[in-house]
Amino acid sequence: MVSGAAPPLQGALLNGSAYVLPARPTQPVLVHFWATWCPVCRAGQGAIAAIAQDRPDTITVAMQSGSDAEVAKHLVEQGLRFPVLNDSDGRLSSAWGVHAVPASFIISPDGQIRFVEVGYTTALGLRFRLWLAGLTG
């Protein structure tokens, strides 16, 4: 997993709009890698959706989960609404050093990765880390 300055993260979201992770975000950002085939990801997807609703700068990356249409179908079936970059070839995941999902990165306003979580984590835990990253960035 990467540490230090957040690597570049950009591409087209499933909704067609362009996304670029700011080098210096105005507030802490949650970057969440997940997969449609991952049962642990499913257990935590409601927490990610709730955080994304409160913090619209949250970005998720669907790692090796099929085509845009397949990922979009999964979101509809699960009743999820959050921004998704589809990493069908694993290129983004590789650049971030992600080999297992779910994986969450908290990026502070200075552009540094402050926290990395692999595996299941709670909404409360992620919110607390986002808050702390705002203090340290």
Q: What is the pLDDT of residues 36-75, one digit of tens each?
A: 999 999 999 999 999 999 999 999 999 999 999 999 999 9
The burial class, CB within 10 Å (0-12 / 13-18 / 19+), for 17 is exposed
Contact 130, 30 (CB under 8 A): yes
Q: Is the pLDDT of residue 79 over 60?
A: yes
Q: Which residues contact 25 (CB under 8 A, 6 or more apart)?
A: 57, 107, 109, 111
Structure tokens at 102: 């779910």
Task: Check whether 136 has a pLDDT greater than 70.
Answer: no
CATH code for the part of the protein at 32-119 = 3.40.30.10
C-alpha span between 129 and 33 (Å, rounded) = 17
Average pLDDT, the chain: 94
Which pairing describes strands 112-118 and 4-5: parallel, antiparallel, or unpaired?
Answer: antiparallel
pTM of the model: 0.95
Residue 1, SS3 per DSSP: coil
Complete DSSP assignment for 31-43: EEEE-TT-HHHHH
- Indicate the domain borders of the chain: 32-119
Per-residue confidence (pLDDT) for residue 2, from 0 to 100 = 85
Instruction: Determine contact, residues 8/14, Cβ cutoff 8 Å.
Output: no
